[in-house]
Structure 1
Amino acid sequence: MTLDEKIKALKADIKAQRDKLSADQISLRNLVEKAESDEDLAKAKDARGKVDGLKEEIRKNEETLALYEEALNGDGKKKPAGKRNKNNDPEQNERRQAIIDYVRSKGLKRSKALKFEKTDEGTFVVVGKRDITPTTDGVTSTVAAPTIPDAISYTPLRDLQTVVDLKPFTTVFQATTKKGSYPTVANATTKMATVAELAANPAMAKPNFNDIDWTVETYRQALPVSQESLDDSEIDLMGLISTNADQIKLNTTNDAVASVLKTFTAQAVASLDDLKLVNNTKLDPAYARTLVVTQSFYQWLDTVKDNNGRYLLQDSIISPSGKVVFGIPVVVVSDETLGVAGEAHAFLGDIKRAVLFANRADFMIRWVDDNIYGQYLQAGMRFGVAKADENAGYFLTYTAPASSSSSTPSK
């Protein structure tokens, strides 16, 4: 078979392969669009592998065709008369003809005019040498960019953020109506008196009941998600969106609880002694203690030392933050939860007595909407938050003394 015949046959093969590639790509798209199960997706992946294999075959055939055409164009008979090589160097002409004969004979006809070089890949003809500038003539990653793939990950990495759920620290009860009241009883402050024999019994003080009024509010949002995005995503897209909705719900309840904590009696602290004063004298001993601190307030606590150089914060396995101070569990929240970035705030007191959380409903709903060919994810809550006991805690604000950036050591 002559070189012309080979070129003609190879072009016909390439055309047939390209036609088949076009049909296979259409078939692959149909498989992907109609995939409803893991088995369907597996079939689609097999079809994609065949498409990739066919593309590789076409590429190799095109390279072979280019080689054939280059060899054919090297023959002076195929060039126009005005563009024939006018080199009259016999040695160079002999070498050129030897290369042509070598290519046409598929390496069987070798002339002494040719120089061969052996490598690990095989034996090659050294066609010619010239001065080479590596920076301009070499193959760099920029030149080979079309063949170098980009590594793409389809699983998003969620930003790290430690969020403490404040709701469990409050008094949570299941509300059955939109609004109502919740009774509390104050601690008894009276005492008995001595009575003479057979004297009438003095009256006992009645319990002091207080009603806490609460009202349920509705919080809800919905997000439309196209069915195409759910089908074509490499990850569980609806699962990711549901997780995001849970975080939004947590932010909502935390904000509601924090809004109540910020309404308690304000107390400025500039030293550890000021913190002790609130804990020891202002807060009734009957109340349980929890210290909810912002990151900036925690930074101050974490650097305070006593006169012996020991840090006041101690390790604890029962505290949410793993730390206690004066035996009080410490809960760390972001600065924005109780104020703004950079502000050092804290709530010291009995959160369960301080905040009432009326829980009415908590739901997450998915449904299909045929008008948009997609799904809706609706998240919602109905709850109410109220201050339960005015004396159950204090809202603290730390300000560093003007003369020092840290507090005075505890005595």
Structure 2
Amino acid sequence: MTIDEVKVEIRNKMNEMQEALDSDDLSKAEAIKAEIAEYKEMIKQLEAELAEVEDKEEDSETEVQAEEKSEEVESETRDEDDTIAELEAKIKELEAELEKKKAEESAEENKNIEEEKGERNMTEVVERVTVLDNKEEVRSDFQNYIKNNELRDLTTESGAVIVPEYLAKEVQDFTDELQALDKHVTVESVTTKSGSKPVYNGDAASPLVSVAELEENPKLAVQPLTDVKFDIETFRAYLPISREAIEDGIGAETLVKKILAESVVATRNAHILAVLNTFDTKEVTTLDGLKDIINVDLKTRHQKHFVMSQTVYNAIDKMKDNNGQYLLQNSISAASGKQVFGLEVVVFEDALIGQNTAYVGNLAEAVVIFDRSQYSAQWTSYMHHAECLMVAIRHDVKELNKDAVRKINFTVPVEETPEG
């Protein structure tokens, strides 16, 4: 076949495809679309063969003949390009119309499936009600309940309301939001897997020295900046939820997302504590011991607050000063609402940070999280009839300056009961 003959065939097929679309015969239209694609490939092959022949002819022509032929070829090429462009545009229109009709057909099928499912469920529900109470009015009353949520004459002889079991199920959520330690440390967003952050801990500053005129500037005795290196790791997990749990339990999917979110907080808490637990521990048994750490051990330049366990909080909450005033005071300036010695108090569970553990100082100057990314995904596991939810976080947690915080093991001596 020649190129012109193939174009004629394409036009014929385009007319057939339009007729199939007009009659909503999408399967036939799809088959004709494939045939048109084959003809388009045939044109490309014929054009390649023609170009090869023309190249050979040009080698044997004189300069004048070649010039005249070149003008003729250019004119024919323009006409041919216009024809091909016209065909391509029409083919795209037909393909777009086909895709639109396929989408409409798919939407209509899904709608019919949902309507059939709804009708089937309603039939099953009404049949169940009819078994419970053989009265025609119960049938219509329950249909009204389903549509308008009105309880009207829906009782048996025992006084119980007739409600299908699936409407009464709920997921019981006994989880609590975990407190996040990352609210109190430095979070540094990074865009690479590894690197370093320059840190100045304040210990390296020294006084300037006197220098004579035009003398060379002296170098400070120590280097004030140190690099904290990081290497990002990935931490991830997923939870499957059966389709039955999603369909039968109200809020099952939301609950699993909440559990995964708490897993992220728990992971960060564990990694922050792993760094804090490398700090030296101070044994403290009295309030004066706490004051020594705050007033002397920690540098005055560090902003300070308390992070303490429930047990330590409870012990301090019972203590009074020499005037009989409780040491733990309410504070409108502190985010937690409590302060001791003028410092904000943040309380964490014993199970998280340790029963007798407290930290005092500035956690933001002591620990840094190099935060790379957080990713969540959801997919359908057809083989298990389930939805799978996943979360992944990428970070590294490092020590910034251990002198900014003191870890405390706070125990109150047990008072001995006098004999007799």
Q: TM-score range by the shorter chain?
A: 0.5 to 0.7
Matched, 1:360 2:376: no
Structure 1: gaps spanning 5 or more residues: 1-33, 61-143, 406-411
2:412: which partner in 1?
400
Residue 307 of structure 2 aligns with an amino acid whose one-letter code is: V
Residue 154 of structure 1 aligns with an amino acid whose one-letter code is: K
1:274-302 deviation per Cα after TM superposition (whole angstroms, max 9, x unaligned): 00000000001111112110111111121
Change (3 A) 1:371 1:153: closer
Measure how far apart 1:338 and its partner are: 1.6
Task: Give the secondary-structure state (helix, strand or coil) at the position aligned to 1:222.
Answer: strand
1:204-233 deviation per Cα after TM superposition (whole angstroms, max 9, x unaligned): 526511111222222111122222332233
- Larger deviation, residues 241-250 vs 216-225: 216-225
Q: 2:253 aligns with which of 229, 238, 243?
A: 238
Measure how far apart 1:47 and its partner are: 3.3
2:129: which partner in 1?
53
Taking structure 1 as the reference length, what is the TM-score of the superposition? Answer: 0.61
% identity of equivalent residues:
27
Q: 1:374 aligns with which of 383, 386, 392?
A: 386
1:346: which partner in 2?
358
Matched, 1:280 2:280: no
Measure how far apart 1:157 and its partner are: 3.7
Change (3 A) 1:49 1:278: same
Change (3 A) 1:347 1:228: same
Matched, 1:306 2:321: yes
Higher helix share: 2
Residue 189 of structure 1 aligns with an amino acid whose one-letter code is: A
2:286: which partner in 1?
271
Distance 2:171 2:334 in 1: 32
Residue 229 of structure 1 aligns with an amino acid whose one-letter code is: A
| Counterpart contact for 2:359–2:406, Cα < 8 Å | yes
Task: Give the secondary-structure state (helix, strand or coil) at the position aligned to 1:250.
Answer: helix
| Counterpart contact for 1:185–1:207, Cα < 8 Å | no
Change (3 A) 1:40 1:214: farther
2:238: which partner in 1?
222
Structure 2: gaps spanning 5 or more residues: 1-110, 137-156
Q: 1:289 aligns with which of 304, 308, 314?
A: 304
| Counterpart contact for 2:280–2:407, Cα < 8 Å | yes
Measure how far apart 1:315 and its partner are: 1.2
Q: 1:189 aligns with which of 185, 189, 205?
A: 205
Distance 1:317 1:47 in 2: 61
| Counterpart contact for 1:263–1:395, Cα < 8 Å | no
| Counterpart contact for 1:163–1:333, Cα < 8 Å | no
Measure how far apart 1:186 and its partner are: 3.0
Change (3 A) 1:179 1:201: closer
Distance 1:401 1:46 in 2: 70
Measure how far apart 1:41 and its partner are: 7.9
| Counterpart contact for 2:275–2:398, Cα < 8 Å | yes
1:208: which partner in 2?
224
Counting matched residue pairs gives 283
Measure how far apart 1:267 and its partner are: 0.4
Residue 293 of structure 2 aligns with an amino acid whose one-letter code is: V
Change (3 A) 1:308 1:360: same
Change (3 A) 1:247 1:53: same
Q: 1:384 aligns with which of 390, 396, 399?
A: 396
Spell out the pairing of 1:38-187 with structure 2 (5 A cutoff): 46-58=122-134, 154-159=169-174, 161=176, 163-187=178-202
Taking structure 2 as the reference length, what is the TM-score of the superposition? Answer: 0.60
